Structures are given as C-alpha cells and as structure tokens.
Structure 1
Amino acid sequence: MSDVREQIAHARSIVVKIGSSALTDVGTGLDMARLDRLADALEARMRAGSDVVVVSSGAIGAGIAPLGLKKRPKDLATKQAAASVGQLALAYAWGTSFSRYGRTVGQVLLTADDISNRSHHANAQRTLDRLRSLGAIAVVNENDTVATNEIRFGDNDRLAALVAHLTSADALVLLSDVDGLYDGDPRKPGPDGRPARFIAEVNGPDDLDGVIAGSGGALGTGGMASKLAAARLAADGGVPVLLASAADAAAALSSASAGTVFAARPERLSARRFWVRHAADTHGQLVLDDGAVAAVSKRRRSLLAAGILAVRGGFSNGDVVELVDTTGGIFARGVASYDSDEVETMIGRSTTDLPPDLQRPVVHADDLVTV
C-alpha cells in the first residue's frame, strides 16, 4: 500500500463528502437503504478511533419527490424551495440512521460567506470543533435555502475541501457515483478508440496531464471537474484526498484501498494563509513593478509602498487584495494593512519618506500567498 493510502487509512480525523447520487433518486427521493450502508461504514471508522465530519449533498434531491417535481429544478427559487423541504428530510434521515448506534447528529448549514468572512469562518470552526468534542456527528451542507448564485460554493466538493482545512482534518474522502479518476469518461472510448485510463495515485501536476474532467449529472451540481478541483485544493492545503465510489465506502473508509488518492503538499498551509489563498473574497488590486513582483513571489518579502504602481478598486484595512503585475496577471493575494485611500497616498514612496503611522508594509509577508 502506498504512503498516501496509509496516511488516509490511519488518519485520526477525516471529512467525508457524500454526493447526491449516492443518497437520492429523482423519482423517489432519499434512499434509506443506501444511507444506512454509508452510516454503517462511517460508524465503523469512528469505532476504529477516527473523528468524522460528514459533508452531505442531497438536500435538493431529497426535496424533489415530496414537492411533486419530475427533475432537478433550474431556477433559483424552486431550488431553494426544494432545499427547504429536503434539508429537513436529510437531517432526519441521518439522525435516524445514526441513532441505531446511539449517536447524536448536529446539522451545520454554511454559505460561502461563512467561509470567506474571517469572523464567520472562525465561528463555523468553533461550532464544528465543539460538536466533535461533545461526541456528536456534524453533518454539513451548503445552506441552499438562502445561498444565491453569486455567493454559493458551487458544489459540495469544494465545501468539503474547505471544511477539511477548517477542521484541521488529516484526510478528505470524496464519495460519489464514480470509482476514481480516469483520464477521460470511462463510459465512452477515447478519440483513439481506447478505454479511459484509471489513475490510482496523483502525486503532482504531471500525473494529471491529458486528464479530461466532465461536469455533473441530473441530481448534483458537481462532476469529475469539481471533484478534481476540490482534491487539488485540499491537497494544496496539506490534506491527502481519496476519491472513490459510495458503493466502495467500506473499503474507502477502512483500508483506503479503493479509488484514487491525491498526495498532499509536504508542508500544510496555516489556517490564515489557506483562508487568504482559497476562501477569502478579494476587494481591489495592487499593481506592482517588476522588482516588487520578484521580491514578493520569489523572495517571500513583504510588500512595501515603493513597489506599488497603482491601486484598483476600493478596500479597507484587513481586506484581502489581489497583487498583479504590469500585464494584469494575478500572482498573489494578501491582507491589506491600510485602506485603499491611504495606499493611494503612499504609491511609489520609500518607507523612510512616509509618516510614522504609514511605515508598516502594505501587505506583510505573513499575510501573503502566491496563487
């Protein structure tokens, strides 16, 4: 067994994301038999000594049948209505299933704003940590009843990757209707007539050369593209990932012998730097000269006013801003130490020429991440 599979098999804390197709059918809604089998596998992992947080899709899918709908709705209002019915059913189903083992379930509904806003981010982290410390199982879902197209995560794969870092999990397991990563659609022959090639392990970008990932199916918003993006996001943050079929949940959650694994970067990003890089909303841009670009991106230096050429957009002290080069390419993100109006007065000036209250770096190196 590879080192990555060993890490996942023996991880003390894991986040497990379960896709809509693993839990629901368009015509009948929630499938309790399938949900019970997943709960059995999750319970076995917890009895083996792991803390588990569940990210469960399926709220909209669970609301389709009770509302008499024939397919997943496309308009926002009907999606939200289906989610309002389905979230109740989904939470009840998980609670009922885990009650067989005397487990208590807590539902945690998040929007993208809860992750991008630093104070909301910390509150969500405390809630999840406290649920675990009290012995309850957190079942997380996107709050589809209030999330709009502009502020949603886009899919629960990305949400799961963010939750994995939020909870400092040791591994992320993505369970859906696919048994792993292929370099194309495994249901169809490739352009050369050959079947798609299964990829058992991803250790870096080179292992993804030639991979073509598609979008989601009838019940969910995800698809291989979203799963691949989520796996890379989590791995970049230092969390190893297993992508497998929900039908193989027992193997995936015990020995990690199923599916595709993604190796994590050697050094885990701090919670703050991960938030800056992947979760925070950005407000405005700072255009840097070539010297400042090199200092920030290659030498990991703080950004000083002397290297700034222009300010684009408005932002406040503490907002995350994008750093761009003279061609407009975004190469880093960081937390601004000043309001945009203040930075406008500092452009191109040496630190020693500035008033004492403006001599701090515009963006400190500890708050900078390249993208």
Structure 2
Amino acid sequence: MTDDAGRLRQRVAQARRLVVKVGSSSLTSADGGALDLGALGALVDALAARRTGGGQVVLVSSGAIAAGIGPLGLERRPGDLATQQAAASVGQGALVAAYQAAFGRHGLTVGQVLLTANDTTRRSHYTNARRTLERLLDLGIVPIVNENDTVATQEIRFGDNDRLAALVADLVGADGLVLLTDVDALYDGPPSRGGSRRVPFVAGAGDLDAVTIGGTGSSVGSGGMVTKVEAAGIAGAAGIPTLLTRLPDVADALAAQDVGTVFAPVAATKASRKRWLAHATTARGRLVLDDGAVTAVTQRRTSLLPAGITAVDGAFAAGDAVDVCAADGRVIARGLVNYASSELPRLLGRTTRDLARELGPAYEREVVHRDDLVVL
C-alpha cells in the first residue's frame, strides 16, 4: 500500500462525519426477494461502533424495491416505473423497520430521509434538505437516506444511489464516503476473468485509462461499477475521498485496512449547491447561445439574458433544469430556467429593458440567474 493510499484510508477511517452507501444486492437474499437480516445486522454493528465512538454516520441505503418484491409476489425486479413505485412503497417500510430494530439494539435511533432530485436542486428545497440532515446528526440520530422511489419519475430521478450518496456526502460536508457493493474492489478487468487484478488506489482519472469497467452486476440493483466510479468522481470534486469495497469488509475498511479501492479527491472548485446542479439534475431542454453569450457565461460568469439566446429546444417549465449550449451543440453549462419553453421564443435576441417596456416589469429578469447556473 502506497503512502498516499494509506493516508487516504486513515482519513476515511478517522472521518468525523462519514457517509456510507449500501446496495440492494448486498442487503437481499440470493434470489433478491427478501432482506438478508444477517447482512444488514453486520453492517449496522460496524456503523453503530463508529457512531457510539463519537463519529457521525449517514447511511444511504438501497433495498426498498428489492424488499417489496417478495411481499408483492413478484419473481424479479419489475421493469416498469409504476410497479417499481408500488414495490418501493411496500418495501421502504420493511427496510426502515429492520434498520430501526438493528440500530435499536445499540441504543441508537434512525430517521428516514427520502429525496428526489427536485428536492435538492431548487434553492429552498436544497437548503431544507441540508438543514434536516444537519439537525438529525446534531440530535444523535442516524439518517437513513434513500431516493423517494415511490413518487420519483424517470425525469426527476437521481438514477442510482451511488450518485445520491456522493451528493449527500457533499451536502453534509462529509469527511469520507464508503460505497459498499457485492464486489470487493475495482479491478482492472472483469473480476470473474482470470488475471484481473485489484486496483487498490486511484490517484486520478488517468489511473482508469487501462481499466475495463463493467455495468450492473445484480438483478436487483440499478447501478454497477460505472456508477460507483462516477460517484467517486463527484465526491472527489468536493474534496471527499471515497473507499469502495464489499459489505463483509466494512469493519476492516473502517479500521484503515488494505481492502477495496480508495479514490483520491481533488481540490473543490465549485460551491456545493452548484455541484448538485451539475450532477443531480437531468436537463429538460436546451438553450443555444451566440458566441458573445458563450463568452459571457463561461468567462465572465454572468447571468444568461434573452439577448444572447438563438434557439430553444425541448418542453420545460419555469424552474426546470436546462442545458446551455454553444452554437455547435457543445453543452457549456446547466441552469434552472426562469421561463417556460413556451414563453421564450418571443423573447430571444431582445434586451431585458425592451422586454420590460413592451411586456411589463416581470420580464426584466434573467433567463437563468448566475446563482442558478453552473459552467460544466
């Protein structure tokens, strides 16, 4: 183990505030139709030891849909959104009840926090989510976070809990992120293939050039190794180191042993909320800019005004996320738009002063305010 890797492992192991994510495949039976209470209990024992030792823990847990498969009489994870939501509705209660019982044996209380992407990209919702998590931690509660699969639609989903965990780590200012899966580490090829070797340390993106990263490895999960590497990148952009390993090795990971793969962070370059905007949203449309507006947005970091927009694509409402593009189609930024797509065409190329004079003072505003705009 290199000195840098060892220091990062120690940093995660000694984290004052730790976010831990566990996947569905690690918490369910072999057929994916029921919770594995033994595995869940082992995870809770390790996290409870951290919590009673003075640290703070946020647990991001998948498993609600998987836990609902059996009670609904399904044979496998449903493919359609409506049945996934039904399974989540049934399974989420079972999942949290199991955690409450397991943490309760250690004298600890859990609190359920269900999030959708909309809850965390709009300014007031983002602030409220952070306030709620901070207060739970201050009160000694272990927050159990999951995507709100019961109400989330395809358009407002995080997509997987790996990304959600990285964003929550950023949201609460965590000192470390641990991703638990059914594979013990990142390998330079498929783990089932002879000759594939564990990658113990990823210092930067260049270390991944020679690594073949596979997709979803479980019939009950929605992520895969790709999403975990992406999550490590999101956390790393916030200055947070990430450790990837399997659930049976969590105690060793929290003791800074040489297990799994540790990802080095980089210096944070964006405000926390703008990292959320960049990574937690799905664009509902596109705004195409002229060259002058591209320069203003990317170099002078100004708000986006209607005068610099040449085209509008997609159907979106005021407050939705949109991609901001150069004339050649390159996405240069993402932001929360102040106008619906139906309103914008008649505003394009015109100054806010002219619009206010003709249409009223309500139109003397930015299409995307710079506080709601992140350059990508």
Do Structure 1 and Structure 2 share a fold, with TM-score over 0.5?
A: yes
Amino acid at match of 1:229: E
Partner-residue secondary structure (3-state), 1:198: coil
1:366 CA displacement: 4.7
Question: Which of the numbers 343, 346, 349 marks the counterpart of 1:347?
Answer: 349
Q: Residues 187-209 of structure 1, C-alpha deviation per residue, up to 9 Å, x if partnerless?
A: 124xxxxx223222223221111
Q: What is the Cα deviation at residue 299 of structure 1? A: 5.2
| Cα separation, 2, equivalents of 1:298 and 1:311 | 22
Question: Match of 1:188, as an amino acid?
Answer: R
105-114 vs 16-25, which deviates more?
Answer: 105-114
Please tell me whether residue 110 in structure 1 is matched to residue 115 in structure 2. yes
Q: Shift in Å at residue 269 of structure 1?
A: 2.7
Counterpart mapping for 1:94-109 below 5 A: 94-109=99-114
The amino acid of 2:335's aligned partner reads G
Read off the aligned partner of 1:60 and give its amino acid letter: I
Q: 1:256 to 1:332 in 2, by over 3 A?
A: farther
The answer as to whether partners of 2:158 and 2:281 remain within 8 angstroms in 1 is no
Matched residue, 1:278: 279
Q: Does 1:135 align with 2:113?
A: no
Whether 2:238 is the aligned partner of 1:237: answer yes
CA deviations over 1:280-301 (Å, ceiling 9, x no partner): 4545433223343244334545
Q: In the superposition, relative to structure 1, how do residues 66 and 368 fare at CA in structure 2: closer, same or farther (>3 Å)?
A: closer
Find the partner of 1:44 among 16, 37, 49.
49
Structure-2 residue corresponding to 1:15: 19
Compare 209-218 and 300-309 and name the one that shifted more.
300-309
Which deviations, in whole Å up to 9, do the C-alpha atoms of 1:39-76 show, x marking residues without a partner?
11101222333211101111222223344433333333
Shift of 1:157: 1.1
Query: Could you say which residue in structure 1 is the equivalent of 2:334?
Result: 333
Deviation at 1:102, TM superposition (A): 0.6
Amino acid at match of 1:121: Y
| DSSP-derived class of the 2:189 partner | coil
Residue correspondence of structure 1 range 193-208 to structure 2 within 5 A: 195-208=195-208
Distance 2:309 2:219 in 1: 48
Secondary structure at the aligned position of 2:18 is classed as strand
User: Relative to 1, partners in 2 of residues 1:353 and 1:95: Cα closer, same or farther, differing over 3 Å?
Assistant: closer
**CA distance, structure 2, for counterparts of residue 117 and residue 4 of structure 1:** 33
Q: Distance in 1 between matches of 2:83 and 2:317?
A: 37
List structure 1 runs of 4+ shifted beyond 6 angstroms.
314-317, 337-340, 351-361
Deviation at 1:266, TM superposition (A): 0.4
In the alignment, the residues of structure 2 paired with residue 239 and residue 366 of structure 1 have an alpha-carbon distance, to the nearest angstrom, of 23
Tell me which residue corresponds to 1:192.
none
Q: Any idea what SS the aligned residue of 1:71 has?
A: coil
Deviations 1:306-364 (A, max 9, x none): 54434445667765432211111211123456777478546265x89887977876555
Query: Which residue of 2 is the match for residue 188 of structure 1?
Result: 193
Aligned to 2:214: 214
Q: TM-score, normalised by structure 1?
A: 0.86
Counting aligned pairs with the same residue, the percent is 53
For the Cα contact (< 8 Å) 1:52–1:137, is it kept in 2? yes
Instruction: State the shift of 1:4 in Å.
Output: 2.8
Q: Which amino acid aligns with 2:228?
A: K
Name which of structure 1's ranges 237-246 and 117-126 shifts more when overlaid on structure 2. Answer: 117-126
Residue 45 of structure 2 is aligned to residue 34 of structure 1:
no
Q: Mean alpha-carbon deviation: is it higher for 114-123 or for 7-16? A: 114-123
Moved more, 99-108 or 260-269: 260-269
Q: How has the CA–CA distance of structure 1 residues 114 and 305 changed in structure 2, closer, same or farther, with 3 Å as cutoff?
A: closer
Q: List alignment gaps of at least 5 residues for structure 2.
A: none
Q: Distance between the aligned counterparts of 1:67 and 1:359, measured in 2?
A: 53
Q: Take 2:306 and 2:157, find their aligned partners in 1: how far apart are those partners?
A: 35
Q: In structure 1, the residue corresponding to 2:102 is in which secondary structure?
A: helix
Structure 1 stretches lacking a partner, 5+ long = 190-194
- Counterparts in 2 of 1:211 and 1:362: CA distance versus 1, 3 Å: same
Alpha-carbon spacing, 1:281–1:54, altered in 2? closer, same or farther (3 Å): same
Please tell me whether the aligned partners of residues 32 and 220 of structure 2 are also in contact (alpha carbons under 8 angstroms). no
* TM-score calculated relative to the size of structure 2: 0.85
Q: Partners of 1:61 and 1:353 in 2: how far apart?
A: 56
3-state DSSP of counterpart to 2:58: strand
